[in-house]
Amino acid sequence: MKYFVISLLFVLSSVAFAKNEVKPTEKSQGSATASELSLKFLGMDGCALLYDMNKKVWLEEFNPERCKRRHAPCSTFKVPLAVMAFDSGTLKDASTLFKWDKVPRSLDVWNQDHTAQSWMTNSVVWYSQEITKRMGRKKVQEYLTKFDYGNKDFSGGLQDAWLTPAPFSKNVKTSVLISAYEQISFLEKLWNQQLPVSEHAMKTTKEILLLETSPSGAKLYGKTGSGYVDFKQNKRLGWFIAVVEKGSERYLGVVTYNDLDPQKEPAFASGPAKKILKEILAEKGLF
């Protein structure tokens, strides 16, 4: 029964992306060739999207069929979860502190008290789980529906519906699924302040997503995500979703991939996804 449920989730992950997603108006002439980008995805089934919010032009759409397929958002789910938490009052501001329950987790940095800012910075899973526990399934589901986020399905585990089975947590009940195109659509609504929530919720979420500022003043906001796509948890699923603000210019980017072959050594999938997208941004002079 367990394998049937997981298999069903992978079938669902191939569902086509939602109708209200960002649509291109024209193809940028500066787009890299498929062969150039394919070198960045060796050993991976991956895709890359880069969208100019102001001009409403796609600067990159590498492997669009992969970009349409839905997968668990993993830790990128912290972005909509932050919006929900700040809007509902579950989190007041970036300094809202949750006490560590003294249960050791797999990463040392998780084994301490955390604020909303350090939660996002260190991708603290237990902090997310405390938020969903305090909010409850019904409230989270209401927000997902209002946000039109991916498949809008929070019927899985209250504290792991957005995750995948992992070596340290195998009894996961995944139900939330999203595509790369849908990630772009959600980020655009968030950055345009078009989500049906308070201005405070969107503004504070944006603030805790800031990763770094380039020497030229461009700001990179984003969130990584790591999971697995196979029963043995050795084929990784990686995400990096990002926004670049460069003066009045704004760009949305997503890289996601899954390994084609099992990994010999355990490693988080988020690193390669972030590296690829930052390389694309650098090559285009955006960051």
Catalytic residues: 75
Give the span between the Cα atoms of 67 and 10, in whole angstroms.
15
Q: What angle do CA 107, 109, 112 make, to 5 degrees?
A: 115
Mapping DSSP onto H, E and C, the string for the chain reads: CHHHHHHHHHHHCCCCCCCCCCCCCCECCCCCCHHHHHHHHCCEEEEEEEEECCCCEEEEEECHHHHHCCECCHHHHHHHHHHHHHHHCCCCCCCCEECCCCCCCCCHHHCCCEEHHHHHHHCCHHHHHHHHHHHCHHHHHHHHHHHCCCCCCCCCCCCCCCCCCECCECCCCCCCCECHHHHHHHHHHHHCCCCCCCHHHHHHHHHHCEEEECCCCCEEEEEEEEEECCCCCCCEEEEEEEEEEECCEEEEEEEEEEECCCCCCCCCCHHHHHHHHHHHHHHCCCC
Contact (CB, 8 A) for 276 and 246: no
